Structure 1
Amino acid sequence: MFSRTALARAFALPVGQQSARPLTTSFGACLRQASTTTISSQSHPEQPSEALSATAGAPPTTPSQQPPISTPLNTAEIPTKLPVAPTFSSPLKVTKSLLEKLPYLTTQKPHFITAHLHDRPYLLTEGDHLRLPFLMPKVKPGDIVRFNRASVLGSREFTLKGAPYLDERLFECRMRVMGVDSEPLRVMEKTKRRQRHVKTVRSKHRYTLLRVMDVKVKTAEELLQEGAIVVEDAEGVSGGEVQA
């Protein structure tokens, strides 16, 4: 073991001074070390921040630990939802008499149609406004709706009737959703016999407004291009019969 005198001679310091300020010397060394670190960081500003974090003892950041960057959603990349094409198990069958009389019906305009929606008939012509007795779900103003069930389709002198409905490949009836209409608020008071309580019921129904955009009867050439088959009058047909 070295004595205190041997240590003082090794550091070339008097014994009294070494024993008088041991704490001040160590504290001053800490201060000088801290100031030296600050000056070195200021004298080299081009050093990256990762070196300072490494000297401080903090773990370096990795790309996997960084939070994901949220990119704005581009509406142009969202695919539009197209209507589902109808599927039929058999081709359309039309009679010869129907093909002979169909040009008289297609050339005479305007056409009217008796469309059925939820087993309710609606007599419509191009340009008419229709207020449904209910609120149609999953539609917005501007959407196009096609009515594919009809029992009567005709003009001023000719009528095409179905049994009971016409094939939807013979015509096109397109409607545009205009908006939603609501009725005035209705208040109803309900009471029971021998009771003093009166129950108040409020109702305010909403209805969908539609406008008929197009009522079209397909020509014989269009039906044949779509794959219609011409059969005899005695055989069963998918369409109806034109009456004058």
Structure 2
Amino acid sequence: MFSRSVLRSFTSDLRLTAPSSIASPFTQRACLHQTALLRTSQQQPQSSTSTSPDSPLSATPRAQSSIPETQTGLKGFSSTQTQDTPQIRNDIPIEKQPLPPTFTSPIEVSKTLMEQLPHLAGQKPHYVVAELHARPFLLTEGDHVRLPFLMPKVKTGDILRFNRASAVGSRDFTLKGSPHVDERLFECRVRVIGVESEPLRIKEKTKRRQRHTKTAKSKHRYTIMRVMDVKVKSPEELLKEGAVVVEDKGDSPQVETRS
């Protein structure tokens, strides 16, 4: 049996040693955490001093020495090209300008046609029977044309050229094509004025022996144009463009005189 004094001394020793034994894992963790931070802080200056000055690790020298990559979509494009792009007219962008026709061979004109063209070109005003989507339109300068449909990809102010015509003429002379007149012999230019829409139409559709009635609504739109110029080229203009005078053939176009 232990005495009370021995028990008191034993319990006092336990009380003194218990906090140190309980707090030991926390102190070890704190020490491990601090040692990890100390190791990283000590390794950083050593790594920076160990590297040579010839190969710096900063991002600035790499950005200066690197070559910028060119985008594939803008390859060969520069700001000077946009400034040097020729503008035919200031009020119309370059992509809206009428494109000149391209042909592989010059136009061949018979001798009789060259002799009759001055009579047709000198008598104004001219008319043209232009075809658009297989529909003939009799046009003269100053006419307003209402197409029976809405022309796609066309905006107000665009200038269009009708290059397919079955006949070109004046008051006393007519030049007919077989089936069409060569577009290098005449010019017909129109300007898009706007779009016109018809009143709303409502149609009721019913079926026999059914109580339900369907309504169909329609409101069509049409393109409005104004004819700016109808011109027949003179023999001098054709020769300047490189026309070749050939002998008469059976199918060569001729200018007919109206009786």
Q: Which runs of 5+ in 1 are unaligned?
A: 1-61, 65-75
Asked if 1:159 corresponds to 2:140, the answer is: no
Residue pair 2:98, 2:161 contacting (<8 A) in 1 also? no
Which residue number corresponds to residue 47 of structure 1? none
Which residue number corresponds to residue 113 of structure 1? 128
Which residue number corresponds to residue 201 of structure 1? 216
1:124-139 correspondence to structure 2 within 5 Å:
124-139=139-154
1:202 counterpart letter in structure 2: K
Corresponding residue SS for 1:140: coil
Corresponding residue SS for 2:142: coil
Which residue number corresponds to residue 173 of structure 1? 188
How many residue pairs get aligned? The number is: 173
Q: Which runs of 5+ in 2 are unaligned?
A: 1-59, 64-81, 86-93
- TM-score computed with the length of structure 2 as normaliser: 0.62
Asked if 1:90 corresponds to 2:78, the answer is: no
The CA deviation at 1:89 is 2.7
The CA deviation at 1:87 is 2.1
2:154 counterpart letter in structure 1: V
Identical-pair percentage? 66
Which residue number corresponds to residue 201 of structure 2? 186
1:1-244 correspondence to structure 2 within 5 Å:
80-81=94-95, 82-234=97-249, 237=252, 240-244=253-257
- TM-score computed with the length of structure 1 as normaliser: 0.66
Corresponding residue SS for 1:234: coil
State the distance in 2 between where 1:226 and 1:109 align. 22
State the distance in 2 between where 1:154 and 1:198 align. 54
Runs of 4+ in 1 over 6 A off after TM superposition: none
Give the aligned CA root-mean-square deviation in angstroms. 2.3
The CA deviation at 1:234 is 2.2
State the distance in 1 between where 2:140 and 2:246 align. 31
The CA deviation at 1:78 is 10
Normalized per residue, which structure has more helix? 2
